[in-house]
Structure 1
Amino acid sequence: MTSSTDTLIRAELVSFSRDPGDGDMPQPGSLEHYGDGLLWLKGQHIHAVGHFSELSLSLPEGIPVYDYRDKLIMPGFIDTHVHYVQLDIMASYGRQLLDWLNDYTFPEECRFANHAHAEALSNAFLDEMLRAGTTTAQVFGSSHPVSVDAFFSACKSRQLRMLVGKVLMDRNAPDALLDGATGIADTERLIADWHGKQRLGYSVTPRFAPTSTKIQMDAAGALLRNEPTLWLQTHLAENSGELDWVAELFPGSRDYLSVYEDAGLVGPRSTFAHGIHLNNDMRKRLAERGANIAFCPSSNLFLGSGLFDRAAAKQTGMAFTFASDIGAGTDLSGFGTLKAAYQVGQLGGQPLTAWQGFYGLTMGNAKALSLDNHIGQLAPSLEADFVVIDPQATSLLSRRISHCTTLGERLFALMMLADDRAIYETWAGGRCQHRRDRSQ
């Protein structure tokens, strides 16, 4: 049946339905690839995906077809750990984690008590994110409720699928950022106002163990028990100095992870950023509870925090995702995150294939966030969030692509050489929300 909401796009299509494995070629059945494909949208959702030659026989009359046969379409990129309130301190001189927090992060986040500032930065961040091809992210606000109200409002107006949370922090930070008297009540109000509204979800967000008392973390755990559809995001085992600090603050705890376990914060909708300094026992415990570690390669390199061990994660069954961790991260682009992940992997003898990288950035991240029923694939009934990639975006990328003979080679070239210039369009909720030529 013809509808005014039909949108038809002809292009090369690439999407993953499950983990492609570690081999040089993806596992059979894990990859959907249409060299000359058709993406058929109805409103905010995907109606059909397939070969153009087959689907063209049943197309509605009078609907124009966008001809992007020189482009590549993939699901929208997903970022599992990012701080929108740190956008303006990206590329601040790279001290180690705890110094970086005190010198740059905390002073910057104090500015988000002002609604106008939070609103302006929310929109600036979303503009940059869409320019980079990211359509969904799990986002830290500041400790000010207004920082989350402003961000949710900006996401709602653009009809984006986003997870966001107000930082909980009641000690070991500047007084202007502490929320001890009101933090949990403010979180409850934000959950009531925003969680589950349109495409929005709430992530309970204790910054990390050193800045929350046991009382606050226990209260955060109670929120999760009372509403199991909530998400949880925090930091874990990023820096060796951080580990020493946690051991000093929680002398009765078995290890860093047990601080979160005791508070009821470790579950299948929990994301722990970094997880560099873990032992296999901790990895197994995370795996048993279905939690994931957000691998933030450019941030880990920038702050000199260490190298994430993907092989150990896989060996123990611990899920991990890919994330930018702006502002210590140096690139909002998913391409940049995968490039850094490959470099980290090479240093540890764990090369990252393009199959693993782009699966992780799309379906893998969606699955870890329990969002794979909504996003992560180009598949019928899923939400129409996708990126249109231009392999000819730069002269260097074009030269390299011209020498590639397989899809795997082309995807790897994109992973290593592409940046936001290669994002020709970003679609979210069935609408084109960024077009490269229009934004220049």
Structure 2
Amino acid sequence: MKTFYRGKIFTFNHSATLANIQGLVPDSLFVDEEHFTFLRDGLIAVENGKISAIGDYNSIKHQICAEDQVVDYSNKLITPGFIDAHMHATQTSAVSAYGEKLLTWLNNYVFPSEVAFKSDISARREYEILLKQLFKNGTTSICAYLPNSYDGADLLFEITHRYNMRVIMGNTIMTDGNDDLITTPATSMKISEKLYQKWHNTGRISYALTPRFALSCTEETLQLCQEFVHTHPDVYIQSHLCENKNEIQDTLTKFPWAEDYLAVYEKYDLVTNKSIYGHCIHLSDSEWNRMVTKGAILANCPTSNNYLGSGLFRYDVAIAKDAKFALATDWAAGNTLSMLRVMDDAYKVAMLNSFKLETLSRWFSATLGSAKALQLDQYIGSLEVGKEADFIVIDPAANDLLNYRLESSHDLLDYLFSISSLGDDRIIDATYIYGNKVYDSKRS
């Protein structure tokens, strides 16, 4: 049996890239068959968690059989679920902490909150709150930093596996710093190995080796991370890079042999085409070029960077250099889990750098562009036959101001721009993961 979903449909097509969608102007039918599709009255068929058909309603409605189910989302927008490429699953209780820069914020608020994850009860409660909010905001995939303990990390792997989420996650490796959080290098690697063996490529899960950042690691730790990457060549790597100027200076003081921040990771072979580096605000020209050459992923977090006053990401440079970048919340330094709000902040950050970040570029970087950067585009990021059915339903009418604004909107770019400028969790009507509804606004 299939389930058919009827409504407006917007999706990028697999051929779309950040470069070839620049400057695109939709025609009067709102359709660009090469790069993206917008259907005013579309239909998607889902069977066994995957998309089996998509097209104009009148063109494919004949495929509906008597035993099939039809879900009517007319006048609502069906679009791919959002991908959050950098977030911390351990920081929900620290969200909206007031008035500190990065390093002070970590020491005063974040590290104490993460100690609570030694309790299974505390961890389970926080994970339940986090996932509910992710689904409520239309996020279907995450790249997440987990607790440094085996049990605390294993629990979220277990929960996301139950939801059949497409995730990239790993235990946070921290061997230098807060005494209540650090482990020995050998212990961290044992936990990493155990989680990798249990969860990597299990269902829709990928394991990521996750040294928190250079300041939280000794050279022995980084050397063990290097050995792990050599023996597990398919592993993802995630860490932080050039988020804050004081962080950069402290890193160069700790590793005086390094010519720059990136060189610390490069020495230990932690910069690959499966490396996800959060922030990347203050990269030198050399660091930009080396990141691009090695195909590393820049996970940009404008909401977080604004909140902590860290700086402005150079979208103009990223696009000009054809860098692999994705949008992210950096929850809970970012004080929202809404990728719509992140898109809006990305636009504002770009404007502060006198650069207009186009509407399609922002939607792309939260969906298919992120999936391509993460090498997951064969599975997620767009609504195409054969792909996993991770999608959301947006109801602009749930926000009176947005609904009023859209009355005067008569082209696709303005329609999408208004949704990303004025939208938030209120307009997410439903969220589906692998064809299963995990959020319904009417039942929340």
Asked whether the two chains share a fold, i.e. TM above 0.5, the reply is yes
- Report the secondary structure of 1:149's partner residue: helix
Take 2:396 and 2:405, find their aligned partners in 1: how far apart are those partners? 9
Deviation at 1:380, TM superposition (A): 0.6
Q: Residues 176-228 of structure 1, C-alpha deviation per residue, up to 9 Å, x if partnerless?
A: 43343401111101111111111111111000001101111121122222222
Among 3, 9, 15, which residue is 1:7 paired with? 3
* Residue deviations 1:99-147 (CA, integer Å, cap 9, x gap): 0010001101111111221122112111110010000000001212222
**CA distance, structure 2, for counterparts of residue 262 and residue 180 of structure 1:** 18
2:144 is the alignment partner of 1:131: no
Greater mean alpha carbon deviation, residues 117-126 or residues 390-399: 117-126
Contact persistence 1:114–1:146 (CA under 8 A): no
Q: Which of residues 245, 261, 267 is equivalent to 1:262? A: 267
State the Cα deviation string for residues 22-65 of structure 1 (Å, max 9, x = none): 21526871111211110000011000111111101222223232
AA aligned opposite 1:197: T
Measured on the aligned residues, the alpha-carbon RMSD in Å equals 1.3
Aligned residue pairs: how many? 435
Q: Which residue of 2 aligns with 1:360?
A: 365
Corresponding residue for 1:232?
Answer: 237
1:276 touches 1:309 (CA, 8 Å); kept in 2? yes
Residue correspondence of structure 1 range 155-170 to structure 2 within 5 A: 155-170=160-175
SS in 2 for 1:35: strand
Q: Are the counterparts in 1 of residues 176 and 182 from structure 2 also a CA contact under 8 Å?
A: no
Q: Is the partner of 2:106 in helix, strand or coil?
A: helix
Q: How far off is 1:240 after superposition? A: 0.4
Render the CA deviation track for 1:364-391: whole Å, top value 9, x for unaligned: 0011111101101100110000000001
Matched, 1:430 2:406: no
Secondary structure of 1:438's counterpart equals coil
Does 1:342 pair with 2:347? yes
Deviation at 1:354, TM superposition (A): 1.6
177-186 vs 48-57, greater mean Cα deviation: 177-186
Distance 2:108 2:404 in 1: 43
- Asked whether 1:16 is paired with 2:6, we answer no
**Residues 87 and 327, structure 1, Cα contact 8 Å, conserved in 2:** yes
- Equivalences for residues 331-410 of structure 1 within 5 A: 331-410=336-415
Q: Structure 1 counterpart of 2:357, which letter?
A: L
More deviation, 187-196/116-125 = 116-125
Q: Structure 2: which amino acid aligns with 1:145?
A: Y
Match of 1:61, SS state, is coil
* Aligned counterpart, 1:43: 48
Q: Any conservation in 2 of the 1:12–1:35 contact (CA below 8 Å)?
A: yes
Identity of aligned residues (%): 34
Structure 1 residues 176 and 234: alpha-carbon distance in aligned structure 2, compared to 1, 3 A threshold: closer
CA–CA separation in structure 2 for the residues paired with 1:28 and 1:381: 18
Asked if the contact 2:185/2:224 (under 8 Å) is kept, the reply is no
Over residues 412-440 of structure 1, what are the superposed CA-to-partner deviations in whole Å (9 max), with x where a residue is unaligned? 0000000001100000011011000110x
Letter aligned with residue 208 of structure 1: F
TM superposition shift of 1:157: 1.4
Distance (Å, rounded) in 2 between the aligned partners of 1:28 and 1:433: 31
Task: Report the counterpart of residue 200 of structure 2 in structure 1.
Answer: 195
Task: Say if 1:168 and 1:179, in contact at 8 Å, map to a contact too.
Answer: no
Alignment check: 8 A CA contact 1:11 1:37 kept: yes
Between stretches 364-373 and 167-176, larger displacement belongs to 167-176
- Counterparts in 2 of 1:396 and 1:283: CA distance versus 1, 3 Å: same
Check conservation: 1:81, 1:137, Cα contact below 8 A: yes
Q: Structure 1, unaligned stretches of length 5 or more? A: none
Letter in 2 for 1:338: M
Do the aligned partners of residues 228 and 106 (structure 1) sit closer, same or farther apart at CA in structure 2, a change above 3 Å counting? same
Instruction: Kindly indicate whether the alpha-carbon contact (under 8 Å) linking 1:119 and 1:154 is maintained by their aligned counterparts in 2.
Output: no
Contact 1:240–1:277 (8 Å) recurs in 2: yes
Output the CA distance in 2 between the equivalents of 1:225 and 1:15: 37
Q: Distance in 2 between matches of 1:356 and 1:56?
A: 32
**Aligned AA (1:9):** Y
Change (3 A) 1:430 1:28: closer
Residues 406-415 or 110-119, more deviating: 110-119
The 2-side partners of 1:171 and 1:244 are apart by 17
Give the letter aligned to residue 279 of structure 2: H
Aligned ranges 1:287-302 → 2 under 5 Å: 287-302=292-307
Where 2:84 maps in the other structure, the secondary structure is: strand
- Superposition TM-score, scaled by structure 2 size: 0.96
How far is 1:330 from its partner? 1.4
**Are the equivalent residues in 2 in contact too, given 1:280–1:312 (CA < 8 A)?**
no
1:144–1:177 contact (8 Å) kept in structure 2: no
Partner of 1:71: 76
Distance in 1 separating the partners of 2:311 and 2:96:
18
Q: CA 1:73/1:327 → structure 2, altered by over 3 Å: closer, same or farther?
A: same
> Hey, what's the Cα distance between the residues in 2 that align with 1:34 and 1:12?
5
Deviations 1:328-382 (A, max 9, x none): 0011001010011011011001122221111111000011111101101100110
Query: Which whole-Å CA distance do the structure 1 matches of 2:66 and 2:300 have between them?
Result: 46
**Residue in 2 that maps onto 1:309:** 314
Q: 2:159 matched to which residue of 1?
A: 154
CA contact (8 A) 1:218 1:264 kept: no
Tell me what 2:36 maps to: 31
Distance in 2, Cα, partners of 1:299 & 1:156: 28
CA contact (8 A) 2:143 2:168 kept: yes
Shift of 1:317: 2.6
What is the TM-score normalised by the length of structure 1?
0.96
The residue matched to 1:377 in structure 2 has which SS?
Answer: coil
Q: Distance in 1 between matches of 2:422 and 2:357?
A: 15
Paired residue secondary structure (1:41): strand
